[in-house]
Structures are given as C-alpha cells and as structure tokens.
Amino acid sequence: MKKFIIWAVGFWVLAGIFIIYPEYKTRNFVDSFITSEDNVEEVIQGISIRKDGAILATLKPTDEQFDELLTALRSWEIKKTSKDKDPNQETYELTIMNDALQYGNFQLSITEDGMMDIRGSEYELVSGSSIEEIVKVAK
C-alpha cells in the first residue's frame, strides 16, 4: 500500500510540473501571441502605441521605422508572473493590427518597468527593448 501511495504522489507531482512549467517558462512574445517569427511581416498590417489615450505613434509596413519596431518586438522574451503591475508606473497600450488573428487586432498594456497585461494575464518582460525604446523608434 505504501508503494502505491508513493507512486501516486510521485505521479501527481510530475503531472503538476509538466502542467505548470510550460505556463511560466520564458518564451518569445511574437511566437506566443502574434504568429511565427518567419512570417510576422506578412500578417501585421500596423502597430499603434498609446499613452493615456493619446496616440503616440502609428506605423504601417510602408514606414521606415516599421522594420526596426518589428525587430524590437521579435527580441521580447516574456514570462508569466503572479506579480501585479505597479499603479505608479506609466502605462502604454500597444495595438497590433493582425489579419492572422481571429478578431483582427491584438492589444496589450505595458508599464515602464516591463509588466504586461495580455488577455487578462500578467507577464513580465524578461529581455528585449523597453517600451520607452520602442516609442523612441516609432517616433
């Protein structure tokens, strides 16, 4: 009976690890939420950046800075977190017009310190360009 309990506990611990680990591991932003990195230029029709409701920049594929902005987004590595966003941080909204998605646009909010709200879940920017750097590129 003890062996059965040990095996059952071991099984559930391993099952928990295999279920939880993929959710909280570091992953590429573009691959996880937009499309494959190989065809990102084909599916994104534009990117808009807002702060406090005011549009800071709107880029289309024909703009010079568009490729730089895509390169910056490709470099984003994110990780799901249980931390909450700091309300004292400036919050930006990033809207990606994307024909590959079912609803057309992908929206997220991101603070200066790299905390993101994506589809109601909190993510942290682990590596890549900060939102301030992206805004500078977009202007």
Residue 7 gets the label, from left (phi > 0), alpha (psi -120 to 50) or beta, of alpha
Strand 121-127 relative to strand 91-98, pairing: unpaired
Does any domain span residue 17? no
Residue 2 forms part of a structural domain: no
pLDDT at 104: 64
Say if residues 60 and 108 touch (Cβ distance below 8 Å): no
Residue 20 belongs to some domain of the structure:
no
Question: Tens digit of pLDDT per residue, the chain (139 long)?
Answer: 788 888 888 888 887 777 776 667 788 888 777 766 556 667 778 888 898 888 888 888 888 888 888 888 888 999 988 777 777 888 899 888 876 555 567 888 888 888 988 888 889 888 888 888 888 887 7
Q: What SS3 string covers the chain?
A: CHHHHHHHHHHHHHHHHHHHHHHHCCEEHHHHHHCCHHHHHHHEEEEEEEECCEEEEEECCCCCCHHHHHHHHHCCEEEECCCCCCCCCCEEEEEEEECCCCCCEEEEEEECCCEEEECCEEEEEEECCCHHHHHHHHC
Q: Is residue 1 part of a domain?
A: no
Q: Which domain holds residue 132?
A: 27-138
With respect to residue 33, please indicate whether it lies within any of the assigned structural domains: yes
Whether 55 is in a domain gets the answer yes
Instruction: State how many domains the chain has.
Output: 1
Is 22 inside any structural domain?
no
